[in-house]
Amino acid sequence: MTTTNAAQNRARAKAEYNAFLAVCPSRQLLDRISDKWVVLVLCALGGDGAGAPETPGPLRYSELARLLAGVSQKMLTQTLRSLERDGLLTRTVTPTVPVTVTYELTELGSSLHEVTRGLRNWAQNHMPEVLGHREEYDAR
């Protein structure tokens, strides 16, 4: 049998999900937003790049790659594509000799950036406190 395979269980769970936690019909979006690279890309394009009042303007692919340092091009490209698809940023190709590609937040993207910035700020402000709790917990 094994008729209860992964796909079926997924479908069932998904259905129950919308039924029960009806408060979150935005689950798919939440999943997408709750991605660390998404948050960081929004930070970078939103101008939170370097503490100092950076230009919130468009950034090239290589600039993003440098800003996000730890990211692989696969993840960066994947993230940028999904954000473009969702209308959160625009991708502009300038056919110079070596091609130039820039990314810029749309208005929709900017509005989300406001929220994710809040997340980032929270994390920054409360990190010491959280670290304290962790030590205390681990010491038990």
Partner DNA sequence: CGGAATCCTAACCGATACTG
Partner DNA sequence: CAGTATCGGTTAGGATTCCG
* 3 near DNA (CB under 7 A): no
Out of 91, 106, 110, 119, the residue judged to bind DNA by CB under 7 A: 91
Out of 33, 67, 75, 119, the residue judged to bind DNA by CB under 7 A: 75
Cross-strand pairs, 60: 102
Q: How far is the CB of 2 from a second copy (least distance, A)?
A: 18
Residue 99 and residue 93 in contact, taking contact as beta carbons nearer than 8 Å: yes
Out of 40, 44, 45, 80, the residue judged to bind DNA by CB under 7 A: 80
Nearest to 39 by CA among 105, 113, 124, 107: 113
**3-class DSSP state of 114:** helix
Stretch that binds DNA, among 43-51, 67-75, 107-115, 123-131 (CB under 7 A): 67-75
Residue 19 and residue 12 in contact, taking contact as beta carbons nearer than 8 Å: no
> Which residues would be at the binding site for a second copy (CB under 8 A)?
13-14, 16-17, 19-27, 29-31, 33-36, 39-40, 43-44, 48-51, 66-70, 84-88, 108, 111-112, 115-116, 118-120, 122-124, 126-127, 129-130, 132-134, 136-138
Measured between alpha carbons, how far is 115 from 103 in angstroms, rounded to an integer? 20
Cβ atoms within 10 Å, residue 86: 16
* 4 near DNA (CB under 7 A): yes
Cα–Cα distances (Å) from 78 to 2, 35, 73, 114, in that order, read 34, 12, 8, 22
Give me the residues that bind DNA (CB under 7 A), please.
2, 4-6, 9-10, 13, 35-36, 60-62, 70-75, 77, 80-81, 91, 98-102
